[in-house]
Chains A and B, each alone.
Chain A
Amino acid sequence: QVTLRESGPALVKPTQTLTLTCTFSGFSLTTSGMSVSWIRQSPGKAPEWLALVDWDDNKYYSPSLRTRLTISKDTSKNQVVLTMTNMDPVDTATYYCVRQSSETYSAFDLWGQGTMVTVSS
């Protein structure tokens, strides 16, 4: 069974750096065609893709947030970590860890339950 679980702080202060960890099971990020993305969703809004790391350690970022994001993977721990610097109240959202697979032609085929992050002083 494939699962993804996000973990990290529920509350961060403005200007702080957010670090989120995705711990997954049931697949390997060393398998060709696999990747993991972070996607966030503000209340009542559409999802917003943030970043992706693939099996070959290629990394891609949202152009609008590129300067604030860093994504990395630890295949030995089955984890993907996202850091976002200079947090602002507008970054308040639910953050999802999501798998992409070549089996579904890079669709976001499995989502974690999400972790709610509030940015407030």
Chain B
Amino acid sequence: SYELTQPPSVSVSPGQTARIPCSADALPNQYVYWYQQKSGQAPVLVIFKDSERPSGIPERFSGSTSGTTVTLTISGVQAEDEAVYYCQSADISATVTFGGGTKLTVL
């Protein structure tokens, strides 16, 4: 199995850019996904296939990969973006792993 490691928290002021990294000891050569979870709600998919946005997700959300680190970038952060963000991947046997989550605080 493998692990996905995220920082526990990231803080930015409104209008700034938030970058949330997710590092793996060894990415399983599978896609990475990102989910946003607001307090008391179910997670919502914001990025799939490393960098694709589902319909309805604002353009300020983007994903990128460099080596064994994937990064969720939120440009022009808004107050409504305050949430916990989880990265997720799966290995070839379909076993799923989630990162520990990063709490984004909008100052």
Contacts and interface: CB of A to CB of B under 8 A. Distances in A.
B61 interface: no
Interface string B39-51: 0001111001100
A49 interface: yes
Nearest to B99: A46
A109 B52 CA distance: 12
Contacts of A113: 42
B94 A60 contact: yes
Interface residues of B, number: 24
29 contacts: A46-B98, A46-B99, A46-B100, A46-B101, A47-B43, A47-B86, A47-B98, A49-B95, A52-B94, A52-B96, A60-B95, A62-B96, A63-B1, A96-B43, A104-B45, A104-B52, A105-B31, A105-B48, A105-B49, A105-B52, A107-B48, A107-B49, A108-B33, A108-B43, A108-B45, A108-B88, A109-B48, A110-B45, A114-B42
Given A46-B98, A47-B98, A104-B52, 5 more contacts: A46-B99, A48-B98, A60-B94, A96-B43, A111-B42
Interface of A: 37, 46-49, 52, 60, 62-63, 96, 104-114
